[in-house]
Amino acid sequence: MSNETDIKQWLKDNRAKGARFLQILVQENSTRENESSAQAIIIEKCRQLGLDLDIWEIGGDGLTQHPAYCCDRKSFGGNPNVVAVLKGSGGGKSIILNGHIDVVPVGDEKNWKHDPFSGQIECGKLYGRGATDMKGGTVALLMAIESLIATGIKLKGDVIYQSVIEEESGGAGTLAAVLRGYKADGAIIPEPTNMKIFPKQQGSMWFRITVKGRAAHGGTRYEGVSAIEKALIVIESLQELEKARNEKIVDPLFDKIPIPIPINIGKINSGEWPSSVPDVAVIEGRMGVAPDETISAAQQEMINCLQKINEQEDWFKENPLEVEWFGGRWLPGNLESNHPLIQTLSESFSEIKGEEPIIEASPWGTDGGILSNIGHTPVVVFGPGVTETAHDANEHIVLEEMFNASEIIALTLLKWCEVSQVQTTEEEPKKMVQ
């Protein structure tokens, strides 16, 4: 049998165990600052596979003083980053397989039909917080690696598997891995893309704009200046800015995306008393960053937009708008669509799925922005998760797609890292370790 056939067969034979592995991973609540128990399962798995393990608590000035560091977490103690390397024989291209172990909070539990940490399987779907974002992707990665080991295939290039913390809060885990020296000739991040291939990813950052007014009694509101009315001017200008920025996006990867780089106004708070004219309004939101744009260039566009308002109206001349950049920030990703990694992944996709993959730009940033911008590692985002259910109640993954993704990734590893030698043996391929 060929290597490919061996791998596909092994992966088909071990589906039930793969599903069970995802189940126990989902059952470990790994929300922020609680990543340790899920990481322990990952570590044990990598140990059984015989990978070279690097387990460390991130932190230190090298990380926290880095310009790309964006994190308000006080301590990383007890919740390590994990990197596990399947060393190649040399001469092949290396690859990073990156998954984050942290999951977002469950939100209102009333909206879930199962316990969010049950890992319940129903009609081929596995439910639970993190099932899709992105423990399902993680299982696809680990199954792909194990299929190589179990079938005795040895690669030339290194396979660097990473299970990082903090992706949902700005990427400090992946940044720490980059700064620890982990770079490669390519990287796959199996975030929930609905099996689409994303060479480019929208970056983003949060902003806060404070709009001043002047208080007055509501009965003589004409004696004051309503911060809410002034905020409407700001919101309209931001809507125009969003339009202008998106009209500049001509990359065909964005053809099917209504607003490639949205400016989302997520919050507005103004006023303390119904019968007073509000004297301050605070707008908070998320600004999308184009794949070929820098964070600072995008910031400057918003600053210019506000500056224009400040210059056009007397009120704002005296009470200028200012923007703060706070909280989350995700660097964009920008791999060319014809990069060899995309080609290799696409071929593997077609082989397994029998159809051409959809290649698009992603509407959100991932740790890929850090891997590519800081680590100079070409990144593609491709994974089995259901985009729509990420961060939502009843998050789930279609197990069939998780298994398809593991096959596609395994074939990609064969081609990308190249096969060094096949361990010829009379014995059956090993069973998946538990």
Residue placing its CB nearer to a copy of itself in the complex, 181 or 258 = 258
Spatial separation of the C-alpha atoms in residues 67 and 3, rounded to whole Å: 44
Is 395 an annotated catalytic residue? no
Letter string b/e over residues 88-125, b meaning 16 or more CB atoms within 10 A of that residue's CB:
beeebbbbbbbbbbbbbebeeeeebeeebbbbbbeeeb
Q: Pull the structure tokens for residue 130.
A: 């993190």
Residue placing its CB nearer to a copy of itself in the complex, 56 or 326 = 326
Neighbouring-strand partners of residue 212? 280
Q: Does residue number 232 form part of the binding site for a copy of itself (CB under 8 A)?
A: yes
**Cα atoms in the Cβ-side hemisphere of radius 13 Å centred on 143:** 33
Residue placing its CB nearer to a copy of itself in the complex, 87 or 391 = 391
* Number of chain positions touching a copy of itself (CB under 8 A): 48
Residue placing its CB nearer to a copy of itself in the complex, 190 or 429 = 190
From candidates 122, 266, 336, 422, binder to a copy of itself by CB under 8 A = 266
Q: Is residue 219 classed as helix, strand or coil in its secondary structure?
A: helix
Is 102 an annotated catalytic residue? yes
Comparing C-alpha atoms, which of 117, 38, 23, 50 is closest to residue 78? 38
Say which of 4, 54, 167, 191 is annotated catalytic: 167
Q: Does residue number 167 form part of the binding site for a copy of itself (CB under 8 A)?
A: no
CB-based contacts of 155, cutoff 8 Å, min separation 6: 86, 88, 89, 92, 148, 413, 414, 417, 418, 419, 420
Spatial separation of the C-alpha atoms in residues 356 and 354, rounded to whole Å: 7
Q: Does residue number 278 form part of the binding site for a copy of itself (CB under 8 A)?
A: yes
Q: Does residue number 109 form part of the binding site for a copy of itself (CB under 8 A)?
A: no
Residues in contact with a copy of itself, shown as a per-residue x/- string from 359 to 398 under the rule CB under 8 A:
----xxx----------------------x-xx-------
Spatial separation of the C-alpha atoms in residues 194 and 387, rounded to whole Å: 6
Which residue's entry shows tokens 């598997």?
A: 161
From candidates 160, 178, 277, 380, binder to a copy of itself by CB under 8 A = 277
From candidates 80, 157, 199, 285, binder to a copy of itself by CB under 8 A = 285
What length is written for the chain? 434
Q: Does residue number 274 form part of the binding site for a copy of itself (CB under 8 A)?
A: yes
Task: Output the DSSP codes for 375-411.
Answer: T---EEEE-SS-GGGTTSTT-EEEHHHHHHHHHHHHH
Say which of 102, 146, 401, 407 is annotated catalytic: 102
Q: Does residue number 110 form part of the binding site for a copy of itself (CB under 8 A)?
A: no
* Interface stretch with a copy of itself, choices 120-128, 200-208, 295-303, 311-319 (CB under 8 A): 200-208
Which runs of consecutive H residues, i.e. helices, occur in 100-256?
136-150, 172-179, 227-247
Q: Does residue number 315 form part of the binding site for a copy of itself (CB under 8 A)?
A: no
* Interface stretch with a copy of itself, choices 7-15, 147-155, 214-222, 343-351 (CB under 8 A): 214-222
Show the CA angle centred on residue 392, arms to residues 386 and 396, nearest 5°. 40
Q: Indicate which residues carry an active-site annotation.
A: 102, 167
Residues of this chain that bind a copy of itself (CB under 8 A):
202, 204, 206-208, 217-223, 226, 228-229, 232, 235, 258-259, 262, 264-278, 281, 284-286, 288, 327-328, 363-365, 388, 390-391
